[in-house]
Amino acid sequence: MAQDTLTAAAGPRPAARRPAGGRTRALLTGGALALVLCLVALVHLGQGASGVGLSEIADLVLGRGDARTADILLGSRLPRTLTGLVVGVALGVSGVLVQGATRNPLAAPDTLGVNAGAYLAVVLVAFTGVSPGPLPAGGAAFLGGLLAVAVVHLLTSRGVMTPGRVLLAGATVALAGTAAAEFLQMLDVQATRGLFFWGNGTLMQSGLERPLTLGALVLAGALCAPLLARPLDLLALGDETAQAMGVRVERIRPTAFLVAVLLSAAAVSLAGPIGFVGLIAPVAARQLGLRKHAVLIPTAALLAAALVLAADAAAQLIAPPSATQPAEIPVGVVTALIGGPVFMALARRISTGDADTGAAVAVSDRRRAPGFAAVLGAGLIALAAAVAVSLRLGDVEIGWGQLGALLSGSAEQITEAVVGYRLPRVLVAAVAGACLAVAGAAVQAVVRNPLAEPGLVGVTAGASLGAVTVILAVPSAPAAALPAAAAAGGLLMLVVVVLVARGSAGGGRRGLDPTRVVLVGLGAAATAMALVNIMVVGAQMNISAALGWLSGSTYGRDLSALGWLALPALVAVALVVAARPVDLLALGEELPRALGLELGRARLLVLGAGAVLAAGTAAAVGAVGFVGLVAPHLARRLVGGHTARMVPVAALLGALLVVCSDALGRWLLAPTEIPVGVVTALVGAPYLVWLLRRTQDV
């Protein structure tokens, strides 16, 4: 999958010879990590809601324990700890293999979409009603992960395969797989709570059968991994050098991916998708001065197992489960809280290959667009038709005749009530979609990357964090505090992303690398959403309601929600008025300054506008993604990139997309509603796949 262009992104090349004390240091490091793992495992065994601590477990081991302690240890504690060990080893070894095969320190089973593909396969099997054993479920996960890798390869097989492009392809596949899995989950409302924990990774087990069975599979894969150590060492020198030294690159790289997918699939089928472990462990092992894969593989396995168990123990300490509140923080949330900042730090240093040439993905831009009025008129007609259809659809359908009677003032009372309930949410959906589309256009104009959708650069997650913080910290706050907090959170997150992403990988001139902004934003979004999930569980919020809001929903919205969207709507109008400075931002660094534009201030103002638009919308309808990606891109293809033309058309397309998604979510499984954010993700993720695939000029 990788090419020689990835070599600069990886860690230091292996030395030709190991220093005399290198082997001793590796043994001492391994022994110290094994001791740390044992201590963490002991602490983990003592955690739980039953009140059984390490002293009771020690008494049981010495033959002085009671039957209750034995039942708890064998039925709950030991399976959970063993699961953590198995998952940690699987993800650690998998991460080393993926990074070695791609020569990319940001590559991991989760960042390349393997975990998401395996997770989707497991959810799909469960959705069919089949109850396979551990190995069949693992087989399905393996096929899903393998398919994800194949799609990533398909997306990156055209053009120059830069590290940024590979990671964007992996993120795209992960988003698509997660969106599809969420859609399947929404079909089972009763299992929402359980699916929340499973989808974020959990070590909870009801017995030893699954961890022992899948543990044997992981052990076999981990024992096979060292056979690839020397070829991966040579592969770090580049494909041509490795081939000259006898390495069959065309065989070694696929073999490494197959073993990595097998291990990560076993981990997903056992504990759900646990992110960033396969990223952190190999990076931490290299920070210890280890370079040879023969040492990296076992070291990363020990580090990853200790990380998973420590994260799970920390989750139980932060929000201790009890008989009255059995919910706990999923271990994947804690690892995301740790891994998000690590990903951001690595993304800041990685060479994306796009600092001077532009974004890793480009879109066609019509220079002349004489059909602007026709496109605008057609968009208005389409939006009006979508609103009319949306008013009809739902658990109570309204016929065209009834809708016409309502317009003439002769409708029945029930028709007036139904339409009176639906009309406000349809209007909220339309305005929210328009604001999200303009937000995407604003952010993309600054970072010069059509993938810089507010959700992908952390703005939506930051807004969610700000809104949830106000809900929990100040429950009696006035209604205006929610959109204000969301706007502040989104703006702050965007500022953090831009500051972290500034500067070249080598510390040269400071500037905005378009691809690095998106990569840093992905890490920031993961961190913010981890904090949101911790607060949701820790405050014992209603998880079903919280998930509905976090997935984006217009359910129950009335005309008061339009007040929250008033400021974002005004900002959108101001962005069109200030079209010339926004257009100049697309010309790079030097030319706008030569034309008299104060670039720093202009960027700050446009970024602030995008943050206000996205955050205000999140406060009104929750986290709705991909609208800011799809709508501006389609608008550019229709009327060109001139802001005064593109932004109004993008707003119409965004409104159309959200109104249609809301109607589809209400109608598809009526009376059960699918959140509008899930529907837009089902549309946007494949669109992002298509956008990456068709781009050839990278």
Q: Nearest 5°: phi and psi at 262?
A: -60, -45
Alpha helices in 640-675, H assignment, sequence order: 643-668
Query: Does the residue 19 lie in any domain?
Result: no
pLDDT value at residue 56? 78
Query: Does the residue 433 lie in any domain?
Result: yes
Q: Please determine, for residue 530, whether its predicted confidence score (pLDDT) is greater than 90.
A: no
46-90 pLDDT, tens digit each = 887 676 777 777 777 777 777 777 778 888 888 999 999 999 999
Return the structure tokens found at 118: 């395996």
Query: Does the residue 359 lie in any domain?
Result: no
Residue range(s) defining the domain that contains residue 279: 4-9+33-320+329-349
Cβ atoms of residues 429 and 659 within 8 Å: yes
Nearest to 445, CA basis, from 553, 365, 533, 510: 365
The mean pLDDT of 188-194, rounded to a whole number, is 50
Query: Does the residue 485 lie in any domain?
Result: yes
The residue type of 443 is V
- Side-chain half-sphere of 226: how many Cα atoms within 13 Å? 11
Query: Does the residue 366 lie in any domain?
Result: no
Return the structure tokens found at 631: 């709508």
Instruction: Specify the higher pLDDT residue, 551 or 5.
Output: 551
Are 302 and 417 in a shared domain?
no
Q: How many CB atoms lie within 10 A of CB 385?
A: 12
Are 395 and 443 in a shared domain?
yes
Alpha helices in 187-228, H assignment, sequence order: 192-199, 209-224
| Long-range CB contacts (within 8 A, 24+) of 441-444 | 441/575, 441/610, 441/628, 441/631, 441/632, 441/635, 441/643, 441/646, 441/647, 441/650, 442/575, 442/582, 442/606, 442/607, 442/609, 442/610, 442/613, 443/494, 443/607, 443/610, 443/614, 443/628, 444/628, 444/632
Return the structure tokens found at 90: 């699987």
Tokens 């070695």 belong to 100
H helix or E strand, kind and range, residue 182 = helix 163-186
Are 342 and 484 in a shared domain?
no
- pLDDT-based confidence at residue 540 (cuts at 50, 70, 90): low
Return the structure tokens found at 626: 């991909």
Cβ atoms of residues 149 and 112 within 8 Å: yes
131-161 pLDDT, tens digit each = 666 667 778 888 888 888 888 887 776 655 5
Tokens 């969207």 belong to 565
Are 304 and 401 in a shared domain?
no
632-689 pLDDT, tens digit each = 888 888 888 888 888 999 999 999 999 998 888 888 777 777 778 878 887 877 777 7
Q: Please determine, for residue 369, whether its predicted confidence score (pLDDT) is greater than 60.
A: no
- pLDDT-based confidence at residue 307 (cuts at 50, 70, 90): very high
Cβ atoms of residues 608 and 491 within 8 Å: yes
Q: How many CB atoms lie within 10 A of CB 668?
A: 15
Beta bridge pairs of residue 443: none
Q: Please determine, for residue 528, whether its predicted confidence score (pLDDT) is greater than 50.
A: yes
Are 313 and 421 in a shared domain?
no
The mean pLDDT of 587-593, rounded to a whole number, is 71
Instruction: Specify the higher pLDDT residue, 479 or 604.
Output: 604
How far is Cα 189 from Cα 191, in angstroms, rounded to an integer?
5
Query: Does the residue 459 lie in any domain?
Result: yes
Are 646 and 543 in a shared domain?
yes
Cβ atoms of residues 192 and 544 within 8 Å: yes
Are 619 and 542 in a shared domain?
yes
Query: Does the residue 365 lie in any domain?
Result: no
- pLDDT-based confidence at residue 14 (cuts at 50, 70, 90): very low
Residue 350: left (phi > 0), alpha (psi -120 to 50), or beta? beta
Are 417 and 285 in a shared domain?
no
**Which residues does 292 contact at the CB level (< 8 Å), separation at least 6?**
14, 18, 229, 233
Percent of the chain with pLDDT over 70: 79
Cβ atoms of residues 155 and 174 within 8 Å: no
The mean pLDDT of 292-303, rounded to a whole number, is 92
How far is Cα 404 from Cα 402, in angstroms, rounded to an integer?
5
Nearest to 135, CA basis, from 240, 55, 213, 49: 213
Per the structure, how many domains does the chain have?
2
Q: Nearest 5°: phi and psi at 63?
A: 90, 10
Are 381 and 345 in a shared domain?
no
Cβ atoms of residues 524 and 344 within 8 Å: yes
Instruction: Specify the higher pLDDT residue, 267 or 138.
Output: 267
The mean pLDDT of 572-597, rounded to a whole number, is 78
Provide the CATH number for the domain around residue 577.
Answer: 1.10.3470.10
Tokens 């396995």 belong to 301
| pTM across the whole model | 0.78
How far is Cα 482 from Cα 609, in angstroms, rounded to an integer?
18
Are 625 and 532 in a shared domain?
yes
449-508 pLDDT, tens digit each = 676 778 777 888 888 888 788 877 777 777 667 777 877 888 888 888 888 887 555 444
Q: Please determine, for residue 92, whether its predicted confidence score (pLDDT) is greater than 90.
A: yes
Are 458 and 499 in a shared domain?
yes
* Distances from the Cα of 436 to the Cα of 37, 147, 292, 612, 652, angstroms: 46, 32, 47, 10, 11
Are 480 and 530 in a shared domain?
yes
Q: Please determine, for residue 178, whether its predicted confidence score (pLDDT) is greater than 50.
A: yes
Q: Please determine, for residue 35, whether its predicted confidence score (pLDDT) is greater than 90.
A: yes
Q: Please determine, for residue 367, whether its predicted confidence score (pLDDT) is greater than 50.
A: no
Query: Does the residue 354 lie in any domain?
Result: no
408-440 pLDDT, tens digit each = 666 666 666 666 777 888 898 999 999 999 988
**Which residues does 84 contact at the CB level (< 8 Å), separation at least 6?**
41, 44, 203, 305, 308, 309, 312, 331
Return the structure tokens found at 222: 């981990």
pLDDT value at residue 325? 56
Cβ atoms of residues 176 and 626 within 8 Å: no
pLDDT value at residue 547? 58
